[in-house]
Structure 1
Amino acid sequence: MGTVTGGATGPTGATATAATATGPKQARSRVTRRHLLEAAVSCLAEHGWAGSTVSVVAERAGVSRGAAQHHFPTREDLFTAAVEYVAEERSTALRDLFHAGPAARPAVVEALVDLYTGALFRAALQLWVAASNEEQLRPRVTELEARVGRETHRIAVELLGADESVPGVRETVQGLLDMARGLGLANVLTDDAARRARVVAQWSRILDAALG
């Protein structure tokens, strides 16, 4: 009887041990992946496409090149995933900032503009420039930007309490996002904070008039 019990327990214990070992391994893998994505965005924003190799990103993330390529087989995989990851993180942060739904329009406009004036936008801009010259990269970046644009537009509509069934409202919201992108471009070369504050205030007034 004891022999039978011991035989049944052996495989079960081995399975439990394997499961326990798998948990930390998967957790470490997720942490490594996140570090690579964050390092990729930082490198792209600081050094541009030409200066952001897989080796440079791996070194910044504190992992080997082989580990980086295990997660992202190609350079294109790494950088498109990195921009998408941070875009999702920023969307989540934007929602958390206004978790109760529609909010005061000046605050929403300022938060939306902030999406286009940080490291994420600079990284995305470098990716756009690279995609204009890299045939392999272009369709992936185009699809990614379309998806990020749709999500940002949807969040903006929600936070502004905009009714897109009213003629002109959709175009007004899209105009706001286009304006925010333009401010982001201006901010790449110089600190445009003072003028940006005036533009944000004016757009808040425009939205109040257009959205009611």
Structure 2
Amino acid sequence: MEDSTTTGDSTAISAKGTRLNRRGLQTRRHLLRVALHCLAEGGPESVSANLVARQAGVTWGTVQHQFGDVDGLWAAVLEYVAVEGGPMLADMPDQTDLAERVDAVVEMLWNNLDLPVSRALHQLRMALPQERSELETAFPRTAKAIAAWERNWADTVEHAFADLDVDRVRLARVRAMLPAAMRGLRVEHAMSTYLDIDAARIGLRDAITAYLSSDS
């Protein structure tokens, strides 16, 4: 089956390569929104295309017509979020001080990770194969969409620090570490814990600032 596309309503096609009419586009958007809701509100069991179909009130045949298979559905979810506005840095920080810039980026990422769409994407990523080769074999379109997300994140961080004199290799390392570090703090924040999350975020900010400003 051919890939379906979510690059825009005027160009959206079904998995069979046919252009979707208005009703088809409405069904597509409905399915994608239901999928995001299921993922955001549930646990690992929520990563089910059959559950999405039931919650959306459609048949599995409708899902197949729109996306081809479960790989096509999850890829479309990722693409839909990217188009509609995913958990990236929508407004670039403009602070000229490095510490303030790092703080702004950390704050925006912290807030974005609490959005329903971020929870949905986390559930989806956790349910997918963890080995890259297995993911690319079993879910090739989803893997491609995830790779696009990671490129987008890289571009976002580069853009956020483009006007500051920081080592680009060190910035790339920070970029790779930061989402995982922030997710870890989010998990601690959601638990009954005596950890001072605000102090931890300040420590993370100071460590990143020191690392990016160091010449050694």
1:67-109: CA deviation from partner (whole Å, max 9, x where unpaired): 33321121221123213422443448632x33xx644522321
Which of 78, 84, 101 aligns to 1:83? It is 78
Distance 2:58 2:115 in 1: 26
Aligned alpha-carbon RMSD (Å): 3.6
Which amino acid in 1 is paired with 2:24?
Answer: S
Is 1:158 matched with 2:159?
yes
| Contact 1:127/1:141 (<8 A) preserved | no
Is 1:41 matched with 2:26?
no
The count of aligned residue pairs is 184
Distance 1:185 1:145 in 2: 22
Distance 1:191 1:114 in 2: 20
CA shift, 1:155, in A, is 0.5
CA 1:163–1:62 in structure 2 vs 1: closer, same or farther (change >3 Å)?
A: farther
Is 1:123 matched with 2:120?
yes
Which entry has the higher C-alpha Rg, 1 or 2?
1
CA 1:42–1:206 in structure 2 vs 1: closer, same or farther (change >3 Å)?
A: same
SS at 2:129's partner residue? helix
TM-score using structure 2 length: 0.64
What is the aligned partner in structure 2 of residue 109 from structure 1? 106
CA 1:34–1:179 in structure 2 vs 1: closer, same or farther (change >3 Å)?
A: same
Distance 2:79 2:62 in 1: 20
SS at 2:113's partner residue? coil
CA 1:130–1:163 in structure 2 vs 1: closer, same or farther (change >3 Å)?
A: same
Which amino acid in 2 is paired with 1:68?
Answer: V
| Contact 2:37/2:120 (<8 A) preserved | yes
Which amino acid in 2 is paired with 1:130?
Answer: A
Which amino acid in 2 is paired with 1:201?
Answer: I
| Contact 2:88/2:153 (<8 A) preserved | no
What is the aligned partner in structure 2 of residue 178 from structure 1? 180
What is the aligned partner in structure 1 of residue 14 from structure 2? none
Distance 2:87 2:39 in 1: 22
Gaps of 5+ in 2: 1-19
Distance 2:174 2:161 in 1: 11
CA 1:195–1:70 in structure 2 vs 1: closer, same or farther (change >3 Å)?
A: farther
TM-score using structure 1 length: 0.64
SS at 2:89's partner residue? helix
Which amino acid in 2 is paired with 1:115?
Answer: N
Distance 2:105 2:170 in 1: 19
Distance 1:89 1:196 in 2: 30
Question: Mean Cα displacement is larger for which, 146-155 or 78-87?
Answer: 78-87
| Contact 1:121/1:184 (<8 A) preserved | no
CA 1:165–1:207 in structure 2 vs 1: closer, same or farther (change >3 Å)?
A: closer
Q: If each structure's helix is expressed as a fraction of its own residues, which one has the higher value? A: 1
CA shift, 1:125, in A, is 3.3
1:109-151: CA deviation from partner (whole Å, max 9, x where unpaired): 1112333343334333333343228865454444433321221
1:15-34: CA deviation from partner (whole Å, max 9, x where unpaired): xxxxxxxxxx7444333222
